[in-house]
């Protein structure tokens, strides 16, 4: 007589834990520049808030002047249009910004409509 013994192996159980994937997507909708039509850059914010107090920033963006032209423009704005004096360092910041981005030779100077 033979005696057989049955052996039972080990049953392994795997527990799979799926990592919870939490993706927080903060998404910025496309919108106009913070400073209206003004080109972004150093001084854009100061220029925007100073100059758009009375009129659209477009009136600024459509001009192309040298630094001294802009300085005269600011004087004229003060003397004739009731603009407050712009204190330093804001005045220099604004002139730097305008000279850099809205000079006579700026590449995006809007062409006057054909006459
Ligand atoms: C206190 C109000 C006031 C503020 C602030 C002001 N402006 Fe003006 N600006 C005016 C008025 C009013 C006119 C329109 C004058 C007109 O055409 O009779 C004008 C016109 C202009 C023009 C058009 C000039 C032209 O040749 O037609 C430019 C350029 C301009 N402003 C630039 C600026 C800039 C740059 C700033 C900021 C540094 C500024 N303005 C801030 C009142 C203001």
Residue nearest to atom 13 of ligand 1 (CA): 81
Ligand 1 mutation pick, 36, 47, 51, max ligand atoms within 8 A of CB: 51
pLDDT given at position 1: 55
Banded pLDDT at 86 (limits 50, 70, 90):
very high
Q: Is 82 in the pocket of ligand 1 (CB under 6 A)?
A: yes
The per-residue pLDDT for range 25-84, each reduced to its tens digit, is 444 444 456 898 898 899 999 999 999 999 999 999 989 999 999 999 999 999 999 999
| Widest distance between CA atoms in the chain | 124
Contact 41, 93 (CB under 8 A): no
Query: Which residues, 6 or more positions from 101, have their beta carbon under 8 angstroms from its beta carbon?
Result: 38, 39, 41, 44
The residue to which tokens 């730097």 are assigned: 96
CA distance 85 to 47: 14
What separation in angstroms does the CA of 95 have from each of 15, 19, 20, 32, 55? Answer: 68, 56, 54, 24, 18
- Within 10 angstroms of residue 99's Cβ, the number of other Cβ atoms is 19
Please state the atom number of ligand 1 nearest to the C-alpha of residue 63.
29
């Amino acid at each position: 007589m033979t005696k057989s013994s049955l052996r039972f192996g080990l049953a392994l159980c795997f527990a799979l834990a799926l990592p919870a994937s939490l993706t927080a997507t903060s998404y910025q909708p496309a919108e106009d520049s913070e400073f209206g039509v003004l080109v972004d850059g150093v001084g854009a914010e100061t220029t925007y808030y100073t100059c758009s107090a009375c009129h659209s920033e477009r009136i600024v963006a459509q001009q192309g002047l040298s630094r001294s032209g802009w300085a005269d423009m600011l004087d004229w704005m003060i003397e004739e249009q009731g603009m407050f004096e712009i204190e330093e360092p804001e005045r220099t910041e604004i002139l730097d910004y305008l000279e850099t981005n809205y000079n006579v030779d700026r590449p995006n100077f809007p062409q006057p409509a054909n006459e």
